[in-house]
């Protein structure tokens, strides 16, 4: 766990250093995924569905605010719908307009929620959205998330019934428009998913804000469970066919992403929780204080110690011994204590070197001669 926390700190400092590039890269990848998905699913206009257009739009949107990406995606969808049938493009434009008037006019900055919502449905992990939005946001996020669900099902419906919707005559166009409106607004699977997303976000957000231990984990798991139960119930009651594999896998993925989000945004140490009580003139206070987990990244400094290379020949060894004995002499003359250990080592080194080189015998011989 401490290793993970150290990694988290390292990642945070890395992000702090390169935040501009990282956020732009994320924006570019999101754009690429979003425009690629739109062009892959409803690429009715050949020019707009080319790789060049996808990458170009992603690059342009990388350097502009998120709201521009949403506008560009809406425009791309409308262009493709127009290539298929003009009335469908008109109805879709009306739906986009209604979304703008009732919500995005007030908070255009929240338009990224719609993008994430559409992407989670497009990637077949729909229940990741309520858990992520419930943990990171507020209950009001149900509105942009719901708009995302509507947009996804609108695109899906057009993709599945493209041949039926393609019409040229005036009467056929009117019929197509009526059928599209009816199908989009009365799609039971869409309303079921919308309900699940709304309930999921509200449950996750409500549990997350409780003061119980491990609130984020409980919120993630309960959100995933609620989504699975609601989807299964909807399947049974409405005879809808949301695949159970998608239901379970996306719930598991959602819970896992919830755990990751908790680790990144809410790492606290519940074992050191303090419950304190105090009062003033008007209130009694029951306060639960949970300390944050903070780990300082060990600052490792690599110190390069270059070993002094002994010069070749006997003379050098003698010098070394002389230096060592000199140091030993100095050490002996110096103060005892910490220095004495070093001096002992030096004396031992001097003796061992003298023995190895036979210098001690020479000295003995000289002494004998004298």
Partner 1 sequence: MIILHREDVWKVMLDQKKIRLMTKMAIYEKNYGKEDIKISGYYKKDYTSLNTWATLIWITFGYLLVAALVFLCGADALLENLNFVKLLIIVAMAAGAYFALLIAYGVGSGKFFRKKHAQAKQRVKKYYRDLSRLEKIYKKEYRNHE
Judged by CB under 8 A, the chain residues 166 through 205 that form the site for partner 1 are 177-178, 181-182, 185-186
Q: Which residue number, 63 or 106, has a Cβ lying nearer to partner 1?
A: 106
Nearest distance from residue 178's CB to partner 1, in Å? 6
Q: What is the size of the binding site for partner 1 (CB under 8 A)?
A: 15
Judged by CB under 8 A, the chain residues 210 through 269 that form the site for partner 1 are none
Which stretches of the chain are assigned E, i.e. beta strand?
Answer: 274-279, 284-289
- Name which of 123, 114, 121, 119 is nearest 96 in CA terms: 114
Task: Please tell me the distance from the alpha carbon of residue 78 to that of residue 92, in angstroms, as a whole number.
Answer: 7
Residues 15 and 22 sit within 8 Å (Cβ to Cβ)? yes
Tokens 């003033």 sit at which residue?
A: 280
Nearest distance from residue 32's CB to partner 1, in Å? 27
Q: Which residue number, 71 or 230, has a Cβ lying nearer to partner 1?
A: 71
Nearest distance from residue 240's CB to partner 1, in Å? 20
Q: Which residue number, 142 or 177, has a Cβ lying nearer to partner 1?
A: 177
Q: Which residue number, 187 or 343, has a Cβ lying nearer to partner 1?
A: 187
Non-local CB neighbours of 80 within 8 Å, separated by 6+ positions: 38, 39, 42, 43, 44, 45, 48, 49
Judged by CB under 8 A, the chain residues 75 through 114 that form the site for partner 1 are 91, 94-95, 97-98, 101-102, 105-106
- Number of other CB atoms surrounding residue 253 within 10 Å: 19
Task: Please tell me the distance from the alpha carbon of residue 58 to that of residue 152, in angstroms, as a whole number.
Answer: 19
Nearest distance from residue 152's CB to partner 1, in Å? 18
Q: Which residue number, 186 or 368, has a Cβ lying nearer to partner 1?
A: 186
DSSP notation for 132-158: HHHHHS-GGGHHHHHHHHHHHHHHHHH
Q: Which residue number, 3 or 20, has a Cβ lying nearer to partner 1?
A: 20
Nearest distance from residue 185's CB to partner 1, in Å? 5
286-291: long-range pairs with CB below 8 Å, 24+: 288/211, 290/213
Nearest distance from residue 107's CB to partner 1, in Å? 9
Site of interaction with partner 1 (CB under 8 A): 91, 94-95, 97-98, 101-102, 105-106, 177-178, 181-182, 185-186
């Amino acid at each position: 766990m401490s290793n993970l926390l150290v990694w988290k700190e390292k990642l945070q400092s890395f992000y702090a250093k390169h935040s501009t590039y990282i956020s732009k890269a994320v924006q570019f990848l999101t754009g690429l995924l979003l425009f690629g998905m739109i062009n892959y699913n409803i690429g009715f206009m050949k020019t707009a569905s080319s790789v060049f257009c996808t990458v170009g739009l992603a690059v342009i949107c990388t350097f502009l605010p998120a709201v521009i990406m949403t506008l560009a995606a809406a425009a791309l969808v409308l262009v493709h719908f127009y290539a298929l049938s003009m009335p469908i493009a008109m109805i879709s434009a009306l739906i986009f307009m209604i979304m703008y008037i009732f919500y995005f006019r007030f908070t255009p900055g929240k338009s990224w929620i719609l993008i994430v919502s559409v992407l989670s449905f497009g990637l077949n992990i729909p229940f990741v959205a309520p858990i992520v939005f419930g943990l990171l946001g507020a209950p009001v996020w149900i509105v942009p998330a719901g708009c995302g669900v509507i947009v996804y099902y609108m695109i899906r419906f057009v993709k599945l019934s493209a041949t039926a919707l393609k019409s040229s005559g005036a009467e056929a166009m009117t019929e197509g428009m009526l059928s599209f409106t009816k199908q989009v607004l009365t799609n039971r699977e869409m309303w079921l998913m919308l309900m699940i997303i709304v309930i999921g976000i509200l449950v996750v957000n409500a549990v997350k804000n409780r003061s119980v231990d491990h609130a984020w984990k409980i919120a993630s798991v309960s959100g995933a469970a609620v989504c699975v139960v609601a989807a299964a119930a909807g399947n049974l009651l409405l005879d809808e066919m949301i695949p159970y594999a998608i239901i379970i896998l996306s719930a598991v993925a959602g819970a896992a992403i919830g755990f990751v989000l908790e680790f990144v945004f809410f790492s606290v140490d519940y074992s050191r929780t303090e419950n304190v009580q105090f009062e003033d003139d008007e209130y009694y206070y029951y306060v639960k204080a949970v300390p944050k987990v903070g780990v300082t990244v060990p600052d490792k400094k690599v110190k390069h110690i270059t070993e002094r290379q002994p010069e070749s020949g006997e003379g050098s060894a003698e010098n070394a011994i002389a230096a060592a004995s000199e140091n030993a002499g100095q050490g002996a003359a110096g103060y005892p204590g910490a220095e004495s250990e070093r001096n002992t080592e030096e004396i031992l080194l001097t003796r061992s070197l003298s023995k190895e080189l036979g210098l001690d015998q020479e000295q003995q011989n000289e002494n004998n001669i004298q």
